[in-house]
Amino acid sequence: MAARIIDGKALAQQVREGLAKESAAVLAKTGMKPGLATILVGDDPASHLYVKSKQKACDAAGIYIDDSKLPASTTQADLLSLIAQKNADPKIHGILVQLPLPKHIDSKVVLDAVSAQKDADGFHPYNFGRLVEGSPIFEACTPKGVIKMIESTGVSIEGKRAVVLGRSNIVGKPLALMLLHRNATVTICHSKTKDLPAVCREAELLLVAIGKAKFVTADMVREGAVVIDVGTNRLPDGKVVGDVDFDSVSQKAGWISPVPGGVGPMTIAMLLDNTVESAKRMAGMK
Ligand SMILES: Nc1nc(=O)c2c([nH]1)NC[C@@H]1CN(c3ccc(C(=O)N[C@@H](CCC(=O)O)C(=O)O)cc3)C=[N+]21
């Protein structure tokens, strides 16, 4: 049987509509829209595209955008002083430093300099620690979006066998924790995992963030599983594909998310969600 599709694009649209109402409520109460500062260093064309789509989504959701574009030659000290300025600016409730940063800049130092109270990406160690503890404030956007996508299927997470492929600090690790807090039995797989296909075949929830085009094939998937594809890989012909071989896996899974139109749009929606939540917290509305 063919899998049902988890339509991240439609789900993101729904989220944005809800946020537009909440932004309007923040504006009515405080006289200020929720504000997101986007900071982009250098001229990587993909990064410029991503930031543009984030800004477009903000506009539609009634979020104020403070746009900084800096040349690739920007020093780390200059970037840190811009961040300090945004940390102190009352119009700003969320700060996004687009990754990757140029090589001469230490990303860790930069991300740690973003105020934990404005960390809309959820990358600051304080927020990561709060997540580990089980009392998160800002949650990283991609894993947060993945959880919403699972929830949208109506398949419960509690008690399920979840397998996360990938252990990055921005997706795999936080996603595993979010699943654990929802009472899944969680396995994290990585490049040293032995007999990875056998582990994947046990998964009722298979969450794939391994960064390799079409890595997961039907033989690695349990019949009826929920499969969420976090990958964005550009093939030589320019086509964007995920980490899951959609054509074969969609014949076996119960639910599957496509790429494009899956996790990507939800990641952006969760950035807006974090920004609006932050504005509400700062306005004493939650
Ligand atoms: N500080 C920071 N935060 C991020 O969240 C962040 C980042 N840096 N650096 C780069 C990655 C990548 N990322 C994506 C967001 C949306 C899509 C997305 O919406 N993609 C579309 C279209 C893809 C296409 O066709 O090119 C889709 O999947 O439907 C993809 C990738 C956020 N990132």
pLDDT in tens, the chain (286 residues): 799 999 999 999 999 999 999 999 999 999 999 999 999 999 999 999 999 999 999 999 999 999 999 999 999 999 999 999 999 999 999 999 999 999 999 999 999 999 999 999 999 999 999 999 999 999 999 999 999 999 999 999 999 999 999 999 999 999 999 999 999 999 999 999 999 999 999 999 999 999 999 999 999 999 999 999 999 999 999 999 999 999 999 999 999 999 999 999 999 999 999 999 999 999 999 8
ipTM: 0.95
Q: Which residue's alpha carbon is at the smallest distance from atom 30 of ligand 1?
A: 264
User: What range does the domain containing 107 cover?
Assistant: 31-117
Active-site residue, selected from the candidate residues 98, 148, 160, 173: 98
Q: Which residues line ligand 1 (CB under 6 A)?
A: 50, 96-99, 121, 141, 232, 240, 259-261, 264-265, 267-268
157 and 219 co-located in one domain: yes
Taking the centre of ligand 1 as the mean of its atom positions, its distance from the CA of residue 83, in whole angstroms, is 22
Kindly report the CA angle at 276 between 271 and 278, in degrees rounded to 5? 95
User: Taking Cα atoms as reference points, which of 98, 75, 270 lies closest to residue 175?
Assistant: 270
- Is there a single domain that holds both residue 147 and residue 260? yes
Contact at 8 Å (CB) between 216 and 196?
Answer: no
Q: Do 181 and 70 have their domain in common? A: no
Is 224 found in the same domain as 169?
yes
The structure's pTM equals 0.97
The answer to whether 193 and 208 have CB atoms below 8 angstroms apart is no
Q: Give whole-number Cα distances, 37 to 68, 71, 159, 236, in Å.
A: 7, 17, 39, 33
- Return the CATH number at 223: 3.40.50.720
Q: Is 240 left (phi over 0), alpha (psi -120 to 50) or beta?
A: beta
Q: Are 64 and 36 in contact (CB under 8 A)?
A: yes
Q: Are residues 170 and 223 in the same domain?
A: yes
- The answer as to whether 85 is a domain residue is yes
CA of 142 to the centre of ligand 1 (A): 9
What's the CATH code of the domain at 68? 3.40.50.10860
Domain count along the chain:
2
> Do residues 145 and 247 both lie within one domain?
yes
Among 36, 38, 50, residue to substitute to test ligand 1 (most atoms within 8 Å of Cβ) = 50
Pair (105, 192) in one structural domain: no
The answer as to whether 275 is a domain residue is: no
Q: Which of 117, 133, 154 is the last residue of a domain?
A: 117
Catalytic residue status for 98: yes
